[in-house]
Amino acid sequence: MVLVRRPRPELRPFVRMLWYSEDSAAETAGRERLLPSGEMHVVFRLCEEPIRVFRSLADPSGVLLGSAVVGGVRDGFYVKDPVTRPVITVGAMLLPSASLGLFGAPASELAGQHTRLDDLWGTGAGGARPRLQEAREPSGKLDVLEALLAARLPRVQGVHPAVAMALERLQTGAAVNVVVSESGYSHRRFSSLFAQAVGLAPKRYSRVRRFQRTVAAMAAGPSAHLVDLAMAGGYADQAHFTREFLDFAGVTPGEYRSLSPAEPMHVPVAGGPR
């Protein structure tokens, strides 16, 4: 079971989406690749099994992260633990403006890694999970999560106007050098502002978002030819598309399709746990 909803209005400049997920062990019995989305997220696991991620497919034991974790923006996949018992999680996908206010750190410092929420919120994180557990219904748990995030809002500062403009322009496929020129800043200064807010350099971020849009197009059109997807996505050719896909997902587009993921960004690891 998955429940997704938009946040209440005061959170919308900082939070893109709230979600509740209830999984059985049978639904996700093996490890998964989680593909890069170009966004940060915060997750609370409400059962006793802690969150575990793996450094690579060959990592036998992984890293235990506890029950509340911030995932920084990434430009590559990571490997998620198999579910061995029923699991309930709640979380939020965050916009670039949220990092400093919600966690007290630039997005660039949290990028490419998972960070325990205790390390960012200190004692403020301790009471969050019990409050989420006490709420009976999924919608009630999302209400609690909204309240927890809204309580941080007095510390939130908006994203730099040049970065906000760049995010909007990059979504439309504008070239990075054009966006930098439009910002009025030097390339070095603009890249620093962008990385602090978003967590990735502008060009890398643009590539991750193009990859994400193409993955969504593959899911929406499972019979579409790869060369057509490559052209529609703005890749130079199918070979370029394949190289980029392998870089971000760890599998080729053809391998991705053969694995038939139930969720576009959650790709089962062939052969199960290793």
What domains, with CATH codes, occur in the chain?
2-155 (2.60.120), 161-202 (no CATH), 208-268 (1.10.10.60)
Residue 14 has pLDDT above 50, yes or no: yes
Say what the pTM is: 0.79
* Distance of alpha carbon 251 from alpha carbon 33, whole angstroms: 10
pLDDT in tens, 91-140: 999 988 788 888 888 999 999 999 999 999 887 788 898 999 999 899 99
How many other C-beta atoms lie within 10 A of the C-beta of residue 184? 10
The pLDDT value given to residue 271: 59
pLDDT in tens, 130-164: 999 999 899 999 999 999 998 887 554 567 888 88
CB-count burial class (<10 Å; 0-12, 13-18, 19+) for 161: exposed
The pLDDT value given to residue 273: 45
